[in-house]
Amino acid sequence: MSVPRLELRSVSKSFDQLAVLADISLSVHPGEFVSILGPSGAGKSTILQLLTGALRHDGGDILCAGAPLEANSHRFAFMPQRDALMPWRRIIDNATLGLEVQGMSRAAARERALPLFAEFGLSGFERHYPSQLSGGMRQRVALLRTVAQQRSMLLLDEPFGALDALTRTRMQRWLASMRVHHDWTVLLITHDVREAVFLSDRVYVLSPRPARISRHYDIPLPHPRPAAGDKALSAIEAEILQTLLTLEE
């Protein structure tokens, strides 16, 4: 098997006397879609903060392509829970913001981002403002902004959690098709068991704080997957849900 794009080995993190992560070991290989599930407050978002450099881990190792991840390496493109679009910037200028922050000129950033608009279902909305878009479209802009950075891996922090159920389902289907087409490498933080199973090749389940990897589930089912009603997917969902319920008892 290839060298993991990302590997955490016995990673720990505490805040003063509060141990949040105790022993986190996981891996994400090139082209994989991996999700992390866990009880509220277990430290799921803390893991992403370690990867983006917002926090430093206390113990263990974080490796990217086999080498230690440096705090300022910016190897990953991060999409937060909220779309974080700036209301005074047009959609095209929101889509290029990440590139501009990295030092790319606005003209060069637009040249890179514009070809993605059609594929993301946003053609014709380049000069609109965020307030003129639906919630699902705003999330596509946020993901376009993330993808345009052309990093080796996408970090997604509950990107659809604020959407209504129907829009969330549509976005999950859309992301599944885009991921297969582009062969993205993705680490997703989510509280939605069905979303994790539908999108992922592997799901890690965290224990309550201080978090450890309680279990992991390989999902050896081909993509694209049926959105609902598949017995194999439903069985995996039920097993993971039971694991989460047991952890919280």
Residues 145 and 174 in one domain: no
Give residue 74's pLDDT.
Answer: 65
Instruction: Point out which residues pair with 24 in neighbouring strands.
Output: 11
Residues 159 and 234 in one domain: yes
The CATH number covering residue 213 comes to 3.40.50.300
Identify whether 236 is part of a domain.
Answer: yes
| Local confidence band at 71 (pLDDT 50, 70, 90 cut-offs) | low
- Residue 133: left (phi > 0), alpha (psi -120 to 50), or beta? beta
Contact assessment for residue 91 and residue 33, using Cβ atoms and an 8 Å cutoff: no
Query: Residue-wise over 17-50: b if at least 16 C-beta within 10 A, else e?
Result: eeebbbbbebbbbbebbbbbbbbeebbbbbbbbb
Residues 60 and 98 in one domain: no
**Which secondary-structure segment (H or E) carries 174?**
helix 165-182
Q: State which of 151, 176, 206 marks the end of a domain.
A: 151
Residues 71 and 90 in one domain: no
Identify whether 161 is part of a domain.
Answer: yes
Contact assessment for residue 48 and residue 20, using Cβ atoms and an 8 Å cutoff: no
Identify whether 207 is part of a domain.
Answer: yes
Residue 146 — φ and ψ, nearest 5°?
Answer: -70, -50
The whole-chain average pLDDT of the chain stands at 89
Give the mean pLDDT of 58-76.
82
Give residue 171's pLDDT.
Answer: 86
Q: pLDDT tens digits, residue range 108-123?
A: 999 999 999 998 889 9
- What is residue 181's three-state secondary structure? helix
Contacts of 5 (CB under 8 A, 6+ apart): 28, 29, 30, 32, 64, 65, 152, 153, 185
Residues 92 and 126 in one domain: yes
Q: State which of 151, 168, 191 marks the end of a domain.
A: 151
- Specify the pTM: 0.91
Evaluate if residue 72 carries a pLDDT over 70.
Answer: no
Residues 202 and 123 in one domain: no
Instruction: Give the tokens for residue 71.
Output: 């705090």
Residues 14 and 111 in one domain: no
Q: pLDDT tens digits, residue range 145-200?
A: 998 988 889 999 988 887 888 888 888 888 888 888 888 999 999 989 999 999 99
Residues 70 and 96 in one domain: no
Domain housing 99:
85-151
> What's the number of domains the chain is made of?
2
Residues 44 and 167 in one domain: yes
Residues 110 and 54 in one domain: no
Residues 105 and 173 in one domain: no
**185: closest CA among 1, 5, 3, 2?**
5
Identify whether 1 is part of a domain.
Answer: no
Q: State which of 151, 182, 198 marks the end of a domain.
A: 151
Whether the CA torsion 80, 124, 173, 3 is positive or negative: it is: negative
Residues 175 and 52 in one domain: yes
